[in-house]
A = this chain, B = another copy of it.
Amino acid sequence: MSEKQIQLEPVAVMRSPFDEKFGIPRQSGLSDHATGEVVFLPPYDDPAMLDQLDGFSHVWLTFRFNANVEAGWRPRVRPPRLGGNREVGVWASRSPFRPNALGLSVVRLCEVVTAPRPLLRVAGVDLLDGTPILDVKPYLPYSDAIPGAQAGYATDAPQPMLPVRFATQPAEWFTAHGDEKLRALVVDVLALDPRPAYRDAVEPERRYGMRLAGHEIRWRVDGDGVEVVSVCLATDAVEVNAKG
């Protein structure tokens, strides 16, 4: 090991509804229904370490883009913000494909739990389930909030939200299951249009699928927005696939 290498270890693990990369909002804070838990790992789980954190409304998470490390990095990336067809330098991006594969997200702190296991309930999450977290810091408005900051190619607000409607099966499914929390999350995630940024045109017949909070969600996009075409438990989906 080179002398200049630095060894770190996870202090916590993220529990989030994002079972796969596809569908994750492109920054933190975009969906307040994207809730999760920062579960501290021993020996970093002493409740004393959390004392007075509950006075803060937001926390920074420094994490490792674990699922992207193998892919490595290149000097230039194509940010979704630019339609996926223009390149910028990786230091001018928040791309996961970067040297050291470190991520940085600010999330809303909903609750500090100390027992039986120390964890933070947070909202506005954009981390894959199981992501190793290397640091947790309180958000300090007086140094961290710079409203007049200029953001070059990323100055404009994120893309407009698409309207989301439900076909008969998912509409009935959500009514039957009464899972308003998942329904709200599905609306948030699909309104942000998680399709790959680079595509030739709207393809109304193309179906997309993702696994979210243990469910298999399928949808399509047309000129009127997003239509959710099916929802089921991921275990059911596996059985259907196995049978089919």
Q: List residues of chain A with CB under 8 Å of any chain B CB.
A: 1-2, 4-11, 27-30, 44, 46, 48-58, 60, 62, 64, 75-76, 87-94, 98-100, 102, 104, 106, 132, 134-155, 157-158
Contact = CB atoms under 8 A, between A and B. Distances in A.
B46 A149 contact: no
Q: 10 closest pairs, A vs B, by CB?
A: A55-B152, A51-B89, A53-B92, A27-B143, A57-B150, A48-B75, A52-B88, A49-B89, A102-B135, A52-B92
Contacts of A54: 152
A145 B143 contact: no
Contact of A53 (B10, B57, B89, B145): B89
A92 B50 contact: yes
Contacts of A136: 91
B135 A98 contact: yes
Contact of A52 (B11, B27, B89): B89
Most buried by B among A8, A30, A134, A149: A149
A148 B139 CA distance: 11
A223 B30 CA distance: 49
